[in-house]
Amino acid sequence: MNPESAQSQEKIRFEEITKKFGRVVAIDDISFSVHDGEILALVGDNGAGKSTLMNVLCGIHEPTSGKYFYEGESVRFASPNEARDCGIETVYQDLALMDDLDVATNIFLGKFPMRFSFGPFNIIDWDTAYAQAAELLEGQLNQAIDPKTEVEFLSGGQRQLVAIARSLAFDPDVLVLDEPTSALSVAGTELVYDTIETLQDKGQTQIIVSHNFEEVISVADRIVVLYQGNVADIVDADAVTRGELSDMIKTGKSAAELKAD
C-alpha cells in the first residue's frame, strides 16, 4: 500500500499522546492510527493504559500532551457528547441498561423518535421506536430479539447486543467496545463476537478494548499491545500467535524483540 492510500484510509490518529494523573503516567507518548473499516484491538494487562487512552478519545480525559486526529483533522473532545457528535460511540462494559424497561426503551432512552413535539409537549412515536429497534437488532445485528421484551429477561449476551444496538442508534462512524465480553458466558461471548463480525462485514470501524487476547486475536485485523502506558508493538492479528501475544503483554517486548531473544 502506498503512503497516500494508507493516509486516505485513516480514521483516527493518535500522535504522541501522554496522560498523567498527578505523578502517575498512565499513557506515555502514544502514536498509532485506526483505519477505516478495521477492527483494531487494544490489549494489555491491568493498568497498561487501555481505558485511559479510550477515555481520551471519548472526551472523558483531556490529554496532558499530544494530539489526536479524526479523518485527518486535529480534534479535542471536551465531553463524550462531543465525541458522539463527531461519530465516535462507546459501549461500556457495565452495560448501563435499565432492567425493568423493555429493549426498545433502552435503545432509545433520551432520543426517542417523536410523533408530535410542541414546546414542552412531546409524544413519543412508539410504533416507529419499536420498528427501528427491530431493524437495528435484526437488520443490522442479525439478532431476533423482541423489542418489547423487558431487559431483565435477556441473557448476558443479548444484553450486550442491546447495549451495542443502543450505540448504533447514534449511527456512529467508530464503535469503541470496552471489554465487551468480560461479564459473559462462553455462549454470550460467541454471540457478541458474531455480532462484531456482522458489523465488520458492513464496514463498521471498531476498536475493541480487552485484556482477553485469546478472544480478540480471532476477530481483530490489527492488535495494539500496550505495556505500562507504552505501545509495545502493533501487529497484524493473523501474523502473531497466542503465545507471542501473551509474551508481548507480559514483557512489553515487540514481536521482533521476542524473536531475537
Ligand X SMILES: Nc1ncnc2c1ncn2[C@@H]1O[C@H](COP(=O)(O)OP(=O)(O)OP(=O)(O)O)[C@@H](O)[C@H]1O
Tell me the window of 18-26, 104-112, 212-220, 247-255 that interacts with ligand X (CB under 6 A): 18-26
Residue number with CB closer to ligand X (24 or 239): 24
Q: Site for ligand X (CB under 6 A): how many residues?
A: 12
Question: Any contact of residue 211 with ligand X (CB under 6 A)?
Answer: yes
**Spatial contact of 165 and 133, defined as CB atoms under 8 Å apart:** yes
Question: Any contact of residue 50 with ligand X (CB under 6 A)?
Answer: yes
Return the sign of the alpha-carbon dihedral for residues 127, 133, 138, 143: negative
Copy the grid coordinates of residue 249: 503483554
Q: Which residues pair with 178 in a beta bridge?
A: 209
Contacts of 121 (CB under 8 A, 6+ apart): none
Question: Any contact of residue 51 with ligand X (CB under 6 A)?
Answer: yes
| Closest approach of ligand X to the CB of residue 124, in Å | 37
| Closest approach of ligand X to the CB of residue 47, in Å | 4
Torsion (CA) 156, 201, 55, 169 in degrees, nearest 10? -70
Residue number with CB closer to ligand X (30 or 219): 30
How far from 91 is each of 12, 103, 192, 208, 223, CA to CA, in Å? 18, 16, 12, 10, 19
| Closest approach of ligand X to the CB of residue 135, in Å | 34
Q: Which parts of 20-49 interact with ligand X (CB under 6 A)?
A: 21, 24, 26, 44, 46-49
| Interface contacts to ligand X, rule CB under 6 A | 21, 24, 26, 44, 46-52, 211
